[in-house]
A and B are shown apart, each in its own frame.
Chain A
Amino acid sequence: MNTASKHLWVALALLPSFALAEGSVGVGVSEKETPTSKSESKDPTVAVSVNLTPPEPKQPANAFGESGPVELKHVVEIRPFTQAGRSEVALFGTGQVNGKFSSHYGLDIDLAYHIRESVGVWLGGSYVIYGRQSSLTDELISKAHEQPFAANALLMQWNAAVGLEMNPLYGKFTIVDDKVLHFAFYINAGAGIAKTRVQLRGNDNQQKDAAGNLAGPSFGDTGYRPAGALGGGVRIFLTPRWTLRLEVRDLIYSALVDKINGCSRADVGKVSQGRTDVASGCDAGAFKDSGADAAPDSNVKNAGIAQDLLSDISSDVINNLSFYGGVSFLF
């Protein structure tokens, strides 16, 4: 047992009635299991055991069905690393895990303040480095000549949220019976905004630009959406200040797609015909590919795809479930 964990063991005896309840899940400590605790109890700095053996001579069977005298103890450990009153900055890499029609990979930075040991507030933001329609969507378009509704394939560019965090569970584990690591489960919830867009030209589209190179995917802006965040994860304490963070977070945002680049279907139809008499608020120029080598008719082609996407006004609630893996620093 390492030195740090030795100093953090505090043994407290609880009421015999509670020990009975423990027996049902196998945590009652029998005489057979006491060598470790006995040796440690000689050193008061290592562990303090208080034996409140009840007056009744007969004890119930322990977890292994053994009857006879049972030393009824309940060991409550003090958490070795306190969070209360500390701030935390965390950096995550993120990857979508439920991306049927879309794929998102990015970075996230969170700031948190732990008001109490089990309650905190957080403020965070994510930036999507790679946000594209999925290979499934590409395959559907090329092989089945179908594509998901715009709302189903809405892509997120970034999001920001503020929320609360709770730490209901705390525990520890060993790796190959050697190193003890302490951890805390947490859940969080928040609200914020998300910037969204839709993909117009597919990832494997063969359209070429003015220089003869593949033009690559193109996108249309679909604006800001209110977003909610629900997550759960584990904070593994590598040191008193550094933690490994593993989390799954569900970003929920509404997706009613009735305009692309601010243009209704009627306006998009006009852009696809090369016309410029569109309503105010419709950014016809946004359909044109960016860059010096952009094909001159790229706005017409992109608007044609947008017109297809808007042929059925679609709405949905997107659940962008992502895995977050990173580190945090407490200060």
Chain B
Amino acid sequence: MKSLLATLCAIFAASPAAAATTGGIPQAQVGVIKNKLFHTNGRVEVGLSFATAVGSRFTQSYGGLLAVDYNFNEWLGLELDGAYNATSLSDLAQKVRDKLPKIPSSSDDISKRQWSEMSQMGQMKWNGGLAVRFAPVYGKVSVFAELPVHYQFYALAGGGVAGMHYESLTFCVQHAGAAQCDVFRTEDGISPNLQLGLGMRIFLLDQISLKFELRDFLYADKYRQDFDQSQGSKCVSDLSSPSCGTAANTGFLSASTLLFTGGVAFLF
């Protein structure tokens, strides 16, 4: 990892953009925005943000994200990040569960017994990853015609691993009667993921800025199909029984968790 960082540092330090000057003043310090007050070139940054999932189908997530960045120049940086989230099923998921058809009995027709799990039920408990951040846009906006606010837009891309928790909406593994399911199937695991994001930084002071981001974590979905709902008790931990159905054949980027994050970053 050290050699990788050293190589990247050498590449960006030697890049034409870093060496360019305007009237003898490094371009990074002049820029085309007049009075570009805030610079990130060569600085380490630590950011702490609140994170919540947006646009999820049946899950909800609240947590925090810690990111440590090194900025090679004004617009390129490398980030090491980690997130921890408290996750659960949403109210909508509970409503769907409440209206599920009755648990079939083993004497029912196979068409009534054979069910499938909903897709995209992954709950991302934690994540750790490495990402490249590209911040090509720097600007300032006039608030109430008098107060200039300096900001930066950036995109990031990277990869990592995430601790995933799956809780089925339909696969009942324990029930006392036909009316209601007591326990639904759960599964935990670690999945590799791809991370893509867009963000905005508002500079407050030279060392402190506010950051708002949308980060999409893409990973392979997991759910089972064509299981025998009347035989769910056989599938609590061992899924080898034919009555437990088959794992859906999903692609690497078949599911995602979109996080909105908002927090503060300190530049050193």
Contacts and interface: CB of A to CB of B under 8 A. Distances in A.
Interface string A17-59: 0100010011101000101110100000000000000000000
B143 to A, nearest CB: 6
B33 A173 contact: yes
B32 A180 contact: yes
How many B residues touch the partner, as a band? 35 or more
A38 to B, nearest CB: 11
B189 to A, nearest CB: 22
Interface stretch (A1-9, A81-89, A187-195, A272-280): A1-9
A97 B55 CA distance: 9
B31 A139 contact: no
Given A63-B205, A177-B27, A171 B142 contact: yes
Interface string A173-184: 111111110000
A187 to B, nearest CB: 14
Interface stretch (A142-150, A158-166, A214-222, A248-256): A142-150
Interface in B11-51: 17, 23, 25, 27-28, 30-35, 37-38
Interface stretch (B1-9, B96-104, B156-164): B96-104
B118 A143 contact: yes
A170 B148 CA distance: 10
A26 B143 contact: no
B35 A143 contact: no
Most buried by B among A97, A168, A172: A172
A11 to B, nearest CB: 9
A169 interface: yes
A27 B143 CA distance: 13
Contacts of B151: 173
A26 B32 contact: no
A140 interface: yes
Contact of B28 (A5, A18, A177): A177
B139 interface: yes
Given A169-B143, A177-B27, A27 B37 contact: yes
Contacts of B118: 139-140, 143-144
Most buried by B among A26, A77, A140: A26
A100 interface: yes
A142 B226 CA distance: 12
Nearest to A140: B96
Contacts of A63: 37, 205-206
Contacts of A74: 146
A224 interface: no
A169 B142 contact: yes
A35 B206 contact: no
Interface string B112-146: 00011111000000000000000011111111111
Contact of A174 (B100, B139, B145): B139
Contact of B33 (A27, A29, A172): A172
B75 A176 contact: yes
B203 interface: yes
B32 A2 contact: yes
Given A9-B34, A177-B27, A177-B31, A171 B140 contact: yes
A35 B25 contact: yes
A78 to B, nearest CB: 11
Contacts of A5: 32
A246 to B, nearest CB: 12
Contact of B139 (A1, A35, A136, A171): A171
A97 B258 CA distance: 13
B71 to A, nearest CB: 14
Contacts of A144: 96, 99-100, 118, 169-170
Given A37-B34, A136-B57, A139-B119, A185 B141 contact: yes
Contacts of B204: 25-26
A64 B39 CA distance: 12
A98 interface: yes
B23 A172 contact: no
A175 B150 contact: no
24 contacts: A22-B147, A25-B149, A33-B35, A37-B35, A97-B55, A98-B55, A100-B92, A139-B118, A139-B119, A143-B170, A144-B96, A144-B99, A144-B100, A144-B170, A145-B101, A146-B96, A168-B144, A169-B141, A171-B139, A171-B141, A172-B141, A173-B33, A173-B151, A176-B136
Given A27-B37, A171-B149, A177-B138, 17 more contacts: A1-B32, A9-B34, A22-B147, A27-B147, A27-B150, A33-B37, A39-B23, A75-B34, A143-B117, A144-B99, A144-B169, A145-B100, A169-B143, A170-B141, A171-B140, A173-B140, A178-B32
